[in-house]
Amino acid sequence: MQFLILCLKRRPLSFGREGFTLIELILVILLLGIIGAMGGELISTAFKGFSDTDARMELFEEGKMALMRMEREIHHMVPNAIDNPDSATISFGMIDAQALRGVFGGFERVDNDTIHDIGNTVLATGSLISIYNTSWAEFSSTNVGIRQIYGTTAAGGNMNLHKAILGGEAAISRYYPITKAVRYHLNGSVLSRTETSVTTVSDFATVLTTAPSYPLLSHITDFSFSYSPATLTRNALVRINFTLQNNENSLNFHKELQVRNVP
């Protein structure tokens, strides 16, 4: 560069004076080419870094939104009403938090098919509630002698149920209003979500596997669900692990979600 400046100072191009030599022109062109190549490489590297950062941010936002959706729903899962048959699938019942001031109600048993809400909550007639549910089978079974879902035939301080309460007393007498069941399932590189309404007799567990679903998360290269039931010392846990990849960029996600209000 200094050589180029000296040349320009020594031989200004004007009429009546000596111009540049061929050697000087070649050297100037060569120097400009080197400088241009270096500058182009720097610009290319900067643009690639920007593109990679943008792609990673897109992956991060996609994974974050999916985790937030799953976290919100799993936190409002009906206790013990969960099916995790393999690492690619998880199904569970959802608490209708809008039906109560909280996510569960406390009750006293009046007789075999009547309970009294100790908080004087008034549910609408025809509401569905889960009582003494201890497994996915008791939540989803179509056998009325097993299924722990009860329809309210009359609501108020005392709620009359459509059948006698199954099983014995629980240490904590809680009921959970419910409306739907949700299923997350990995198919290839796409995680899909399905939901269906719950009734006292419908085979919604089968419907969850056949009903239309919509994609929640894509670009997945590795994924797993795992479920650990509650113990005397901790709540139940749902663990979610997945990796998102877009071209050369990849991000790992891990989340441990506690299932609240396990009886």
Task: Output the average pLDDT for the chain.
Answer: 84
Provide the pLDDT for residue 230. 82
- Dihedral of alpha carbons 126, 130, 136, 137, sign: negative
Per-residue pLDDT tens digits for 50-104? 566 777 888 899 999 999 999 999 988 998 999 999 999 999 999 988 887 778 8
H or E stretch at 68: helix 22-75
255 in a structural domain: yes
Residue 191 counted as domain residue: yes
Question: What are the tokens at 52?
Answer: 């990679």
113's CB contacts (< 8 A; 6+ apart) are 160, 161, 162, 163, 164, 165
- Look at residue 234 in the predicted model and tell me its pLDDT: 81
User: What is the model's pLDDT at position 48?
Assistant: 59
Instruction: Compute CA distances 182 → 35, 51, 76, 140, 211, whole Å.
Output: 61, 36, 11, 12, 11
Q: d(Cα 146, Cα 112) in Å, to the nearest integer?
A: 16
- Does 22 fall in a domain? no
The residue among 172 and 116 whose pLDDT is bigger is 116
Overall number of domains in the chain: 1
Query: What's residue 39's pLDDT?
Result: 66
- Between these two residues, 10 and 97, which has the higher pLDDT value? 97
Residue 24 maps to a domain: no
In a domain, 28, yes or no: no
Higher-confidence residue of 77 and 232: namely 77
Q: Is residue 26 part of a domain?
A: no
Mean pLDDT is lowest, of 32-36, 97-101, 107-111, for 32-36
Stronger pLDDT, 170 or 139, i.e. the higher one: 139
User: What CA–CA distance (Å, rounded) separates 178 from 155?
Assistant: 15
Residue 71 is predicted with a pLDDT of: 93
Residue type, 219: H
The pLDDT value recorded for residue 155 is: 79
In this structure, is the dihedral angle defined by the CA atoms of residues 99, 125, 77 and 245, taken in order, positive or negative? negative
pLDDT band at 241 (very low <50, low <70, confident <90, very high): very high
Q: Is residue 102 part of a domain?
A: yes
Question: Is residue 146 scored above 60 in pLDDT?
Answer: yes
pLDDT, tens digit (0-9, with 9 covering 90-100), for 153-212: 987 778 999 999 987 777 778 999 998 999 999 999 999 999 999 999 889 999 999 999
* Host domain of residue 73: 57-259
Identify the sign of the CA torsion 206, 209, 214, 220. Answer: positive
